[in-house]
Structures are given as C-alpha cells and as structure tokens.
Amino acid sequence: MALQLLALRFLLALVSLLTAQGQDEVDPKVQGMSQETERCQRPHWDSRFQLAPDQVYYKKNEEVMLSCPEGFQPSFTHVKCSSEVLSIFQGKPVHSEVWLGRNTKGAWMRIRSSMECIEILQVDPGTFEISSNSIKLNWTCRFPDACQGMRAMCRPAVPSSPPCEAEEVMGEEMSQGQEGTFTCSQLQAFTDYSVTIFLPPSTTLFSWLFRTEEAVPDKPEELWLDPISGSLRWKALPSCKGDILGYQLNITARSAQDGGFLEMERLQVNGSITEHRLPEHGPGSRYVVSIRGVTAAGAGAASLWQFQSNSSVSQHPLDITCHTVHDISPSQGTAILSLRPITSDGVREHQLLVTMTHNGSVLESTCLGQPQPFRASQQPFNTSQQPFNTSQQPSTYLAAVLNLTTPMDFVLGDGTQGQGYHNAALRPGWNYTALLRLVHHSPQSEKFTCVCYSFSVVAGQAAGTWRGTVIGLVVLLALLLMIAGILWLVLSRKRKYFPNKVKEDN
C-alpha cells in the first residue's frame, strides 16, 4: 500500500514537472487566470469548426466533439477542457485553462497551438500531368483512414455537342499507402473537363477544371471539284482537337494533251480557307490531291483524292508517258533533246535532271527533288555532291542549268561541267529519263513543273542507231546466204551418194 502511494506521488511530481516544462512557450490562447480553473471558454480556433455541444463555456473535463466542413478534418475530433499550473504566485499555484485532444490511441494530449480544419486530401497543382487524352494527378491523404473508397471522375465541363463528342470518364487509382495517382485516360483533346475526387456517396474532396492539350486533326473527309470555277473545295475541319491553323495540300497534275508534263505543287493555306484554284492544263488533265489539316499539335492524317478536269473524257492510265527521243548516239554517249521553255511568270532558269531509270515513281520524286538547301529532310539527291556517282543506282544528277526562252535542241551527254551540274556522257546499256524542270517558290508554296523525255542507250553498237542497224542487217543477210549455200552443197552431195549405196545392197 505504501509502495503504491509512493508511486502515485512520483507520478504526480513527474506530471507537474512536465507541465512546468510546457510553460517555456506561453500559450497565447490562455484565456482567464483564476486560482482554480473550473471551466474553459469556447476555444478561438478555426471559425469553421463545429462544436458539439455548442456552448460559450465548457466545464472542466467535459468532452467536446469537433467537426469540419465537407472534405476537411480537425487534428482531434474529441477535445476536453482542463487546467494546468501556470506559475506560483505568492506561494500559491496559478492555474490556466487548457484544452486536451484525444489522439488515435485514445491518449489525451495538450493542444499547444491553434487548430485548423485540414484538407483530407492534398493535391499539389505542381504534379498535374495533362496530355491531349489524359489527366493525371498525384494525391496525398492527410488522415490514414479518411480516404478509403475514394473515387475520381472526369466530366466534360460543358455538355458535348456534335461533331465534337466527349464522354465522362471514371478515374483509375494507383496508390501506395497514403499517396497515389488518379488517371483519367481516353479523354478528348482540347476539351474542358471538371475533375472531382469524392468519397461516396457525395463528399467532394477535390474539384478542379482542366483543359486537355490539342491533338492533330482528323483527316479531311469531303473534297470536291467545283466544275464551274475549276476550284478544289473541301469541308472545313471542326476545331474538336484544336484550332485549325491551316491546310497542307500536295497537288500533282498531269496534262492529258502533253504526255510528258507533270506539275507538283505543295502549299499551305490558312485555316479559314476552304478552296484552292487548280492549275489549268486543259480538259482531261488528271489531278491527285492530298490534304491534311494542321493544329498547334501538328499536321493530321492526309486524305488522297483523284480528279479529272472534265469527267466526260475517258480514263487515261495514271502513268506518265514521257516524250520519246530519237536521236541517240551510243558511241558518243549523247542524245539530242528538243527542249521547249516551260512557261511560268518571271522564271527563266530551267534545270535538266537525269535519272537512270524509267520508273514512274522515281520520276515523281526526282521532279520534287531539291537542288537548293530548301528542305534538307526531303532530298532524294544532293546536286552539289560532285562528281555524281553512277555506281549508285538508279542515279540522279543535274545535267544542266539553262536560261530557256525559245525552243532549242540540247545535246545531253556532251561532258560540260559547271557549278553543281555535270552533263556526263550517257552510258550504253542504261535506261534514261531526263526531266526539264522549273521551280517556283513563294512563302506559302513551292511548285515543280517538269517535262520528261525517256530513252534507252542500246549497248554493244559501234555506230549510230539506224546506220548500225542497217549494217547489222546486211551482215546478217550475207551470213544467211552463205549458210544456205553451204547447206545446198552438202545436201546435193548426199543425194548423189545414197542411190549408189542402194545399188550395192541389191
């Protein structure tokens, strides 16, 4: 019994020692100072607190329940009024009122500073990750059990309307302990979403408005040729995935009248424009048009269309038929091309490109090839590379640069060399395509107009084509005659011999 009493005394002494220590930092919230506090004033903490019971004074040891608005929690849900010795004045202890809070383990702790309603869920705006189709946010739960069963929802901020569709999406949760990430994926680009994290049934823990990033637009779906104006028209793309900044067009035109004529245009028009005048190359000309929309995120997928300027004209094969070249000299390695200037306002400088193939698709890329360092990434060949390398097949090279104003006969393969070009001798046994080209650049477009000539340099002939053929034929004829003569001689001798043999047998 005496031992128990001693232990109690010791504990009391310890408590008073501990409370005395707590006085180093005087609580500004200390209310009245009476000799023996029997009651406390309602605490002046966060004004959002709701107290139950709700009173002006609380009796000593009276338990009070604290609560906060939706989405918030107090550090202690149960508090009670108490008192402690503040100082000794004239030999008597001076008491002050204090509040104690009950921690999760049920122990009462002295509340030293002011208390606030604390957000249950902390979401740091610095961790938001927004793309064109997803929203990600990292969260931290301030109270270990308060976030159980939490969910997230991403709803379009305004109801979506055609043609831009957006649906509400449930967020997916990934959590480790008191931290985690919510992700809403498969969202529409360039759309406002209201993101809420809530505890079912209806406690909102977090709410924010986001806009997803822009994406590249869908491909244009409608394109037609206006038969009256001869213009190409298309249906404007909707701004669902971003504001349409412009349209990129690639137009390839082939003239029905001039088989070797090819014109390729690349241009970009403003997003507010929905038509483009096609270059005129007479009735029956064929056009291949590809078009893409452009947003801040870049160019979208391309639509490909084919037209004929006058649909009543019967279908021509899409393949280009180049002009034929008759005057070829395999021995000298030359061919004579009848060149005519390609008309275009102001431009006189024509280029003569040579490619050692008859392949039509190589032809198109050759016509588009850039001799100027204009767009380095799309260069099928580099004309400033010298000497040109014919062992890389099919080889393409710049043979000449001409100021063409009147028709002229040009000797291809005469060996002339200059700044960036080389009119190299033609090699027997190869197929050739020569392209006379005019390039026209403007800030918004580039146009390549080409006229093609195709021929083959026949191998193994010493003389010019027709003379060689004639000599060859004469030699062949003589040979045939000789063989026929020998055969006749042999056969006639055999006929004389056989009858004798028959006689001998008899």
Ligand X SMILES: *[C@@H]1O[C@H](CO)[C@@H](O)[C@H](O)[C@H]1NC(C)=O
- Applying CB under 6 A, the residues found at the interface with ligand X are 127, 138, 181, 248-250, 266, 270-272, 283, 290-292, 302, 310, 312, 349, 358-359, 361-362, 368, 373, 376, 378, 382, 384-385, 389, 391-392, 401, 403, 429-431, 456
As measured in angstroms, the least distance from the Cβ of 365 to ligand X is 8
413: left (phi over 0), alpha (psi -120 to 50) or beta: left
For ligand X, the closer CB: 100 or 412? 412
Cα–Cα distance between 51 and 117 in angstroms, integer? 12
Exposed/middle/buried for 433, CB within 10 Å: 0-12, 13-18, 19+?
buried
As measured in angstroms, the least distance from the Cβ of 246 to ligand X is 8
As measured in angstroms, the least distance from the Cβ of 196 to ligand X is 19
As measured in angstroms, the least distance from the Cβ of 354 to ligand X is 14
230: left (phi over 0), alpha (psi -120 to 50) or beta: left
- Asked if 251 and 234 count as a contact pair (C-beta separation under 8 A), the reply is no
For ligand X, the closer CB: 165 or 179? 179
Cα–Cα distance between 193 and 187 in angstroms, integer? 9
Cα 480–481–485 angle (5° rounding)? 120
Strand, helix or coil at 218?
Answer: coil
As measured in angstroms, the least distance from the Cβ of 194 to ligand X is 21
For ligand X, the closer CB: 202 or 314? 314
For ligand X, the closer CB: 126 or 200? 126
Cα–Cα distance between 457 and 356 in angstroms, integer? 10
Strand, helix or coil at 480?
Answer: helix
For ligand X, the closer CB: 101 or 260? 260
List beta partners, residue 261. Answer: 451
As measured in angstroms, the least distance from the Cβ of 126 to ligand X is 7
Nearest to 73 by CA among 101, 110, 42: 101
For ligand X, the closer CB: 324 or 385? 385
Structure tokens at 38: 């029997």
For ligand X, the closer CB: 36 or 280? 280
DSSP 228-285: TT-EEEEPPPPSSSS---EEEEEEEEE-SSSTTEEEEEEEEEETT--EEEPPP--TT-
As measured in angstroms, the least distance from the Cβ of 420 to ligand X is 9
As measured in angstroms, the least distance from the Cβ of 456 to ligand X is 6
For ligand X, the closer CB: 108 or 430? 430
